[in-house]
Chain A
Amino acid sequence: MADRYEVHELMVCRIAMEMTEEGDYVTILGSFTPLAYSAYMLAKLTHAPDAWLVGYNAIGMPPVELSFTGSEAAAYRGSLARNSFTPNGHLVHLGTHGLLECVSSAQMDGDGSINLSVIGDYDKPKVRLPGGAGAPEVVQNYRKVVAYFSKHDSRTLCEKVDFATGRRTPISRDRRDAADLATGGPITIITPLAVLTKDDDDRPFKIESVHPGVSVDEVVANTGFALDVSTDVPTTAKPSDEQVALLRNKIDPFGTVRFDFLSGDERLTYLEDVLAQEWARAEAHLAL
């Protein structure tokens, strides 16, 4: 086990576990979200080499090194088929082939509602957010819902979202089976503190595990909705040395993934630094 790892690497490893290669299911990459991208690439390089990745509608894309400027190009290079959005949406987001597409929203609540639309009143918002893109379809129709957050606090994991851009319903396996909806796991929330899951419409989220060094009380105190707490909560697995090495040396040598954990000016400075490295690499390639 890697003694020296960062919490985002642990999160990446936990998300990667959700990506499997059984069946005719695909994992979708949309907007460049480094944490989720890292997890998909890690799965491809370790336990799920044959899993289907679809990036920007490039089907069967290979695993790629992460970058801010080249992720579309990387998706298309070596992919096996292309689609426009519409057939892809019918097959995956509305059909029967969606496995995984992580969501990360401004707010999520104990019902599993995600808010990507507004903070405050919908018609007079305090903050207008980007909107959900395909997230409403994803959370309803994919086999799994995996949500990750770079902060675990009661403003983000809140009692009630200001607006439900998307919400999976029903959640319970038997009710989904009866409604002929895709099933494949609980709603899973992965944060810097813990992993939370919900698989029953009538029960709260429970703590699947707390990360090393985090107490159950800390998780409860920082969660805005009620949690089911069992007497014996396990600790999240640490990343292996191999996983950490793959993430740092192969998948994300520029460290794009840290970006999700920074805010404001820190984030800008960090972006400038990563972009300078991407520029330098392109120039080095030109000089060859």
Chain B
Amino acid sequence: MNKVIALEELSSFVAPGDSLGIGGAWMASHPMAAVRQLMRDGIGDLHVIGSLSSIDVDQLIGAGLVRELTFSMVSLEAYGLAPHFRKAVQDGTLIINEISGVAINVGLDAGARNLPYLPMRDIGASQLPEVTPDAFAEITCPFTGERLLAIRAIVPDVAIIHVLRADAAGNCQVEGPMACDPELARAAGRVVVTCEEIVETEVIARNPATTHIPGFLVDAVIEAPFGAHPTTHIPRYGFDAWAVMEYADACADGLADTHIAQLASESEAAYRERVLSADKRAVLTTIARNPKTLETQGT
């Protein structure tokens, strides 16, 4: 079955008002081409769900597309506090559900298993259950009597996930950091994947151990080279710290609206042309392929 669509057709799968799970974690493998497409199409009023979010969520908030956010972290790491996330929460314009980092994955896993909740070990005296009471409940184990936490299932209307390669049927292979993406794909009602390249099914079948999302879960496949840029996608390209710093600088200098307007007004091909010079591509590729590991004396 051919599920391949153009990036421009993303809006057939994500509607205003949807709850939207966004894949990736830290500075890795966020589906940035799809995030840019949401900004181009102005698909708003979203309830965004992110496991460990970064520039992906910050840009969507900056574009005014996010009504509610379920998260454990939104950070630009070395490049500072995520400016739009920070401002929106401080201004009271964003509904937030802050959940601890493992609990959010357990919630997605519950959704993936078609369960209303899953139990996990408690998280000490964290105040997160106080401020996000809809996500957490204390339960007693029916077998041992231990106090446990129940984490309510998270079931996004739709998930967008970036992978290394996929076939037309949506079988997805990943070789680098995969965040909570397999659970997110299983939990969501609809799944759209973007990939570095679409390949023949034989290519997938040659190495099925790297297929982490089976095609039957996937509704649409989009080829989007450098689709996680400026976040990293191992083994293809390293983290474009220069681009993230440029974003952070623009926001600090009051130029965030211009920066986001530019992303929303150009095609993905034009974005790659503008941001990814031949030199930049070569450097990012080299960084991904040639990291420096150190010898230990013992091994």
> What is the interface of chain A, defined by CB distance below 8 A to chain B?
30-32, 41, 44-45, 49-50, 56-58, 62-65, 67-78, 82, 84-86, 89-90, 93-94, 111, 113, 116-117, 122, 124-137, 139-141, 163-169, 250-251, 259, 268, 271-272, 275, 278-279, 282-283, 285-286
B105 at the interface (CB under 8 A from A): yes
Asked if B122 and A140 make an inter-chain contact with CB atoms under 8 angstroms apart, the answer reads yes
* Chain B residues with CB below 8 A from A168, complex form: 124-125
Whether B291 lies near A94 (C-beta < 8 A) is no
Q: Mark B275-299, 1 if CB is under 8 A from A, else 0.
A: 0000100111011111111101111
CB distance from B216 to the nearest CB of A (A): 18
Considering the chains assembled together, what is the distance between the CA atoms of A44 and B127 in angstroms? Answer: 35
| Nearest CB of B to A6, in Å | 19
A264 to chain B, nearest CB (A): 10
Residues of B within 8 A of A63 (CB): 293-294, 296
Determine whether the beta carbon of A282 is less than 8 Å from that of B124.
Answer: no
Q: Which residues of B contact A (CB under 8 A)?
A: 25-28, 51-52, 71-75, 77-79, 81-82, 85-86, 89-90, 92, 98, 100-103, 105-106, 108-109, 120-128, 131, 175-183, 212, 232, 234-235, 238-242, 245, 249, 279, 282-284, 286-294, 296-299
* A69→B126 contact, CB < 8 A: no
Chain B's interface: helix, strand, loop or mixed, by majority?
mixed
Given contacts A69-B238, A93-B102, A167-B124, contact A133 B294 (CB under 8 A): no
Please give, as numbers and ranges, the residues of chain A lying within 8 Å of B98 by CB-CB distance: 117, 131
Could you write out 6 A-B pairs with CB less than 8 Å apart?
A45-B294, A73-B232, A124-B90, A130-B82, A167-B126, A275-B245
Given the complex of chains A and B, what is the CA–CA distance between A65 and B292 in angstroms?
6
- The answer to whether B105 and A166 touch across the interface, beta carbons within 8 angstroms, is no
Q: Which residues of A contact B71 (CB under 8 A)?
A: 131
Query: Known interface pairs A93-B102, A134-B100, A271-B245. Does A73 touch B234 (Cβ–Cβ under 8 Å)?
Result: yes
| A49 touching B299, Cβ below 8 Å | yes
| Given A69-B240, A74-B292, A128-B86, 11 other A-B residues pairs in contact with their CB atoms under 8 A | A68-B239, A72-B26, A72-B28, A86-B106, A86-B180, A94-B120, A132-B128, A133-B52, A168-B124, A282-B282, A282-B283
Q: A73-B234, A275-B242 are in contact. Are A251 and B183 (CB under 8 A)?
A: no
Tell me, rounded to whole Å, the shortest Cβ–Cβ distance linking A91 to chain B: 11
Query: Are A132 and B72 in contact, CB atoms less than 8 angstroms apart?
Result: yes
Contact B90 A125 (CB under 8 A): yes
With CB as the reference atom, state the residue of chain A lying closest to B212.
A84
